Structure 1
Amino acid sequence: MEHSVQINQTTISLLKGDITKIKADAIVNAANTSLLGGGGVDGAIHKAGGKSILEECMKIRERQGGCAVGEAVTTTAGNLPASYVIHTVGPVWNGGTNNEMEKLRSCYMNCLRLAAEHNVKSIAFPNISTGIYRFPKQLAADIALKAVADSLNRASTEQEPLEHITFVCFDDENFDIYRSKMTGL
């Protein structure tokens, strides 16, 4: 199942599936602040990518002590069909009173900034913070799509544009939410 829209020279696609199987220059990991792997998408990426991802994450931890909520770091993709994994730490939902919406937006913006720095042409995002971090799925989709659209509409003419952004939904609920919201882009 795939659905797509175009913003400037970038195709934004939606599919239901396993992000560890996506062929893209970069895939995004919904990481935790320790960068040491965990459950959900994070655990799946570390397992499928192999130990080289964890080894690079450990070097980042030694250098800067992990990754703060809303920030992002880049590692190898190891055994994954990508060149990079961009690890970002989404916020835990606490009712919207701890700047969770701005922190989630920062996740997407920082991932797109790192993608540009690494001359990435294609990137795949999971549904950041919507699993065990309990971010409301409708609101998370609005934030993700608006952040991507804003970034693409503001992109510098000097940098090469992203050719393809894919939102990879693990479940039917997120897929249906994104599909309904993408028609408004």
Structure 2
Amino acid sequence: MLARRLQPMASQARRLYVELMFQVMGNALQAISEIDDDVQNEVRALPEGFLFEMMVMPHGASLVIEHLGNGRFRYHGSEAPRPVNLSIQFKHIAHAFLVLSFQEKTSVAFANDRMLVDGDIGYAVRMTRILNRLEAFILPRLLARRAVKEYPRNLHLPEKLLNATRIYLKVASQFFDTVRA
């Protein structure tokens, strides 16, 4: 009986967590594109105006990022201003929760058929590299190793701490700007 009452609350908590993580990731992707040269080089290979979406199917939480040019991203929230070029879709909220709570790597989720890619696979690989670099910076090393396929060997603690601090400060300022608006 108690399990029946707790299940809807657990489902709602997962949904809220995924929504929050998409907001954090969207703002963090915008921030890292402003401060990290490696990410800027990856982003420059995308066409200007390129729209990337990550979402939970069919109409769940989502994040939308646009390449503005010069290696910079802009986070659009959950609404795309026009049709997206690349969409990575989780088939179920539970699958998104596994990946976003770092219980399962993105590559493992894809191999387990928990996600779909709608768009150019080359762009999807590039976006995955960008997401992996972001996670390597903002997550503690122990969690990052669980989240990314391969932790960067050349990422040393001083660089990690400096960039993580810069990313988190930019994310916090973007949240405050959103609250003020």
Return the TM-score normalized by structure 2. 0.27
**TM-score by structure 1 length?**
0.27
Query: Going by fraction, where is strand more abundant, 1 or 2?
Result: 1
Give 1 or 2 for the bigger CA radius of gyration.
2
